[in-house]
Structure 1
Amino acid sequence: MSPTPTLARRFWEAIEPVHAVAYFAPEPAEAARALGLIGWWMGYFAGRLAPLGPVRAPEASALCFAFAPARVARALPDAWAYTTPEKVLDTRLGAVETALSRVLPPVGTRHLEQLTDLLETAVEDCGHEGRALAAAWSGVPRPDGVLGRLWLASTVLREHRGDGHVIAVAHAGLTGLEAGLTHAATGNVPRELLQSTRGWTDAQWETARRRLVAKGLLDRDSRLTRSGGTLRRDLEHATDRLAADPVTRLGAAGVEEAIRLATPLARHLVDRGVIPVPNPIGAPRP
């Protein structure tokens, strides 16, 4: 039996689909192409890292180390020859607002304002020690509209959690690829989906698999061993623990209220197929 999800994990599950519209709705990709960015992945890395400025491939790979460095290097720094981080950020925010206005259920402005206020309050106490992406996105000026504000707050919170996950993985002595293999071994996300979206070759995947077998974390059928299962649970617990700042800021009652308000939005996005499940993020239907 799976352990009861922590409050921090339930909070993430409820708001992640709102952020993930940036990856799965067509409007952000179309906006990136209109700026001259070539291919979906160039738009992805430029859009996600734009608040950091014209970041290069080595730094981008360090921040997004679940992805194969070759995939990152095909996008950056070439993206900055076509446009600027400022233009990418501006068009991304506008495109996401357009997408959310199209795909969110008609819950009413007051519902969205209440949720947005809670998420912006949660952001206020997010520490940025070792969390470059969360720090960068927290410095983006708030948009005027509630949908832009909602997306930006959910983005800061998910990057805060994601940066914490990177810290936990690195502390456990795993590479980004090895962490991906252990994730696939849980059965929550198919190997094919993770490998194809993260850009790892079959040879790279096999080499990492052999390392994990040698470490006693996977068996020869790529299933988690007892030690591997313990490590994976420890990783998730550490990620939840490192995501405690917004939970502490809102308190249990505030987080539960945010979950109550966000869950109908997230379920609508999943049920309408805007956010697929399973997905490489690992976000379930709340």
Structure 2
Amino acid sequence: MNPMARRMFELVEPIGVLPYAADEPNETMFALGFTNYWDIYFAGRAAPLGRPTAEVVDALFYNFAPGEVARHIPKVWHTTTPEAATAARQAGCVAALRRILGDRVPTPELARATELLTRAATSAPPQGRPMYAALLALPVPEETLARLFFAASLLREHRGDGHIAALVVEGIGGLEAHVLLALDLPLPAVQFGRLHHLPAAQIEAVVDGLRQRGLVGGDGWFTEQGRAVKRRVEELTDDLAARPYEVLDAEERDELVRLLEPIAALLLAAQD
């Protein structure tokens, strides 16, 4: 496993996940006129793509059950525009960062972390990275906290594009990926947050497909082959996620780790 890419994932993810882990982004999105969380999710994340069809969003997001995306795309654009959704999501995440980071916000350390992270986040080739490319086409914000969130979002989507590629290589579908993640926690698939809303028969059909391929045993848990597949997916995901950080030299990467560690710790504590 690529230790540098894995460590950067651990430190950047608490920033990139803010739209789903803090109250402020929900509040700014609800203020646009939305009335349920999943409209907010699809409007906020799909906004950099413009107005693609549900089929395109489903393909790019990869891990939703059949028909789920179409319940929100293109309906969300009757409520707001992609531009307004992007601005609202950013404003909410900036407010969350300001609340959680407090006295760290005006420090040179946070400014330096933002500079290094932005340089890394904007350096990778966009080819074969559709979600990353869509976000990369947007202007880089000038304000420090907005730029910090933007950089983390870029790196999150860059990693996500690579993760989907790794899943495709192993022949793992979107719902199957949720099952593998659940079992890795370890948690029964029917209890996993991204699956438990689905009909039990649908979840069992996904698990049964993995069982027939020898990835899940009769007890519903990983086989050795299943664990090996999950491990290969994670290793390839890390390898594919390393490219943005290659623009930084070794000293800069070490510096970025040191600067992000207290930021990530505060964000994780707030999310708990």
Q: 1:190 to 1:224 in 2, by over 3 A?
A: closer
8 Å contact kept, 1:67–1:200: no
Residue 42 (structure 1) aligns with: 39
1:42-78 CA-to-partner distances (Å, cap 9, x unmatched) read 0111101101101221111111112223332221110
> Retained in 2: the 8 A contact 1:165–1:239?
yes
What is the TM-score with the length of structure 2 in the denominator? 0.93
Distance in structure 1 (CA, Å) of the matches to 2:212 and 2:188: 22
Task: Give the one of 155, 158, 162 matched to 2:156.
Answer: 158
- Partner amino acid, structure 1, of 2:103: P
Aligned to 2:93: 96
Unaligned runs of 5+ residues in structure 2 are: none
Query: Are the aligned partners of 1:105 and 1:268 in contact in 2 as well (CA < 8 Å)?
Result: no
Q: Aligned-pair RMSD on alpha carbons?
A: 1.7
* Cα offsets for 1:93-117 (capped at 9, x unmatched): 1121111111125224211111011
* Contact 1:209–1:218 (8 Å) recurs in 2: yes
Partner of 2:26: 29
Quote the Cα distance in structure 1 between the aligned partners of 2:73 and 2:34. Answer: 11
1:282 aligned partner: none
Q: Which amino acid aligns with 1:242?
A: L
Contact map agreement 2:178 2:195 (CA 8 A) in 1: no
Select which of 43, 63, 66 maps to 2:60: 63
Matching of residue 211 in structure 1 with residue 213 in structure 2? no
Alignment partner, residue 269 of structure 1? 267
Retained in 1: the 8 A contact 2:122–2:154?
Answer: no
The runs of 4+ residues in structure 1 deviating greater than 4 Å are none
Q: 1:13 to 1:131 in 2, by over 3 A?
A: same
1:72, 1:245 → 2: CA distance?
30
**CA distance, structure 1, for counterparts of residue 218 and residue 137 of structure 2:** 46
Q: Which moved more, 1:27-36 or 1:41-50?
A: 27-36
Residue matched to 2:143 = 145
What fraction of aligned residue pairs are identical, expressed as a percent? 38
Whole-angstrom distance in 2 between the partners of 1:189 and 1:246: 33
Contact 1:21 1:96 in 2 (8 A): yes
- Size of the alignment, in residue pairs? 270
Match in the other structure for 2:15: 18
In 2 relative to 1, CA 175–101 (structure 1 residues): closer, same or farther, beyond 3 Å?
Answer: same
1:97 match: secondary structure: helix
Equivalent AA in structure 1 for residue 263 of structure 2 = L
> Per the alignment, do residues 267 and 227 of structure 1 end up closer, same or farther by CA in structure 2, a change over 3 Å counting?
same
Q: Please give the TM-score of this superposition, normalised by the length of structure 1.
A: 0.89
Structure 1 unpaired stretches of 5+: 277-286
* Mean Cα deviation higher: 4-13 or 227-236: 4-13
Q: Which residue of 2 aligns with 1:222?
A: 220
Partner of 1:124: 122
Report if aligned partners of 1:217, 1:224 keep a CA contact under 8 Å in 2. Answer: yes
